Structure 1
């Protein structure tokens, strides 16, 4: 009898051990998460740019969106001051399937901005090419963005002062085979179509009555308070052009009216353009973007 009981116990032991073993769950499919890093000046930055609306409204939760654009920076001093070094650490940090880097400069590369300006024919394109090369070397995927248009008009015609920098950006994109978001072309066409008066709503604060009255005639005047008149001097012209170098200082944009920086309405409007163009330029990103 003892022999029979022992044999039965030995026979059921493997079955009990098998019943107690945990069931291995199947491996989940690979989770694909991407990172989008924004590089540029105040027209992309958190204060004054389209970047906040882009990251907050147009990027899904399956992608990280990091805005490292800084006010007052050009393709030159963004690197020399150390901002690019910080960006490279973010680009090479890993943990994501792909890291896309959107690069937009031009506003502060223009003449008249000491410590920021770059030569259009030589320095500016060389700087962009270097950014593209270093992003790729770090394992990232660069995307060049042409500069957002300013909103200054003369006789009903939008002044295209950033056109040469946009064209230089397009050429670098073609030469380096880099995806291009032509924000300049799209924003220029949109602002020209709506006219000077309607475009004032994109600024950070509403225009003064004088500025709005001029805009309704198809012209933009300086939004800065006029300097006190010097005795004996000729009066300033009524429609004096705004000095962009003077009103776009280094650092983050202040909350004021101008024809360059964006308030909430402007950020929402132009970030939608960036999103639509990015989905076309980089089809792999479509699933991570909200139109």
Structure 2
């Protein structure tokens, strides 16, 4: 099979198309013929060495996957050959989804939403699980809660807006002016152009803030939260100083590191097939053009996700 391997840290050019052996599923695993795999910003940081989460190369990047079950290992009856599945296997260990085939434990996958093609299904697991786990499992968003979502036009953000609305929340979103109409179309009740308006002065009495921006955005977000409100961060989860400041201010600090979770995937599938959630794909590239895909993601300013199609 063809897979993408990098043998050193560096720019997108280190991503090589190579021929490797098709993996065999172990007990409780399935072999998936990959139809699509998406590119997430974290993968660029890992590739460059800025965030060496996988250790030293060589390795294959990728966690989002959507495809068809080709073989089933002993000890699992969740799927059969021919089933369409999607998921986020093994994170934060190598998921190896930049490839034509991948193996994964059956409980790290779920049946693909019937209303999505593989391209859009592959766009959902990492961002969908990040949003679901932060808003539902940890923050416990309830109907009527006021939720502020930063970078609402991006990968995690555009899904988080839709999940928060599905939970019955009043959603305030920050986004650039060019993404205002898009974010409104997702269901946001208010959209703040962060380049023109300081959200810390414009917003008050928020129950939950979801942040994927980092830097000083976290501490500035504390000012908009009510006492006892939850600050969810997917980028500063290891920031002990920020945690201490938040807790000293009487807030709940939730540092989120996304986990594989078939139960949450199944919940996302229900929202999708009920018409309440739709991942947005801005660009697609063939697997062989993964370096170009990484370049586009690193340029920033994207709406939604970038997806690799796999023949």
Task: State the TM-score, normalized to the length of structure 1.
Answer: 0.34
Tell me which protein shows more strand as a share of its residues: 2
Tell me which protein shows more helix as a share of its residues: 1
